[in-house]
């Protein structure tokens, strides 16, 4: 499933793409997959970075400078209460967003504008302002 999610992100654009993974926590499977490709420029953020390559950012009060050139945002299993802030960031950036909630978990009800997307064995929600 994680390879399918990573593949969807990889194929999102045929061109070089700037991507941010939000609230990465301690799960690096998708980011490690994406970092193998030259066309992907990936930044990772979290309120409590667990590694040196993760940028500290509080998504309830995001530092917009971090995201100024981002083409796509994604978050894997973000806490339900953080999801509206993630969507607000995507809206402010006018940027597509993918959220992969925990299996069996629904999105925060404030995110009704996102639609369910199934890609191979991966299911996630997408917001696309374009």
Sign, CA torsion 67/103/1/126: negative
- CA distances to 76, 120, 122 from 27, in Å: 8, 21, 16
47-74 pLDDT, tens digit per residue, is 999 999 999 999 999 999 999 999 999 9
76-116 pLDDT, tens digit per residue, is 999 888 999 999 999 999 999 999 987 666 666 566 788 88
CA atoms within 13 A on the CB side of 51: 12
Domain boundary assignment for the chain:
2-127
| Domain 2-127 = CATH 3.40.50.150 | yes
């Amino acid at each position: 499933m994680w390879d399918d999610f990573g593949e969807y992100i990889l194929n999102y654009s045929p061109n070089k793409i700037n991507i941010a993974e939000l609230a990465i926590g301690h799960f690096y499977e998708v980011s490690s997959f994406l970092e193998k490709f030259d066309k992907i420029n990936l930044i990772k953020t979290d309120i409590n970075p667990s590694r040196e390559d993760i940028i500290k950012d509080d998504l309830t009060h995001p530092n917009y400078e971090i995201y100024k050139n981002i083409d796509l945002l994604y978050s894997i299993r973000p806490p339900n209460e953080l999801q509206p802030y993630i969507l607000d960031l995507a809206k402010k950036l006018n940027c597509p967003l993918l959220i992969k909630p925990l299996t069996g978990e629904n999105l925060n009800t404030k995110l009704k504008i996102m639609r369910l997307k199934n890609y191979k064995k991966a299911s996630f929600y997408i917001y696309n302002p374009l």
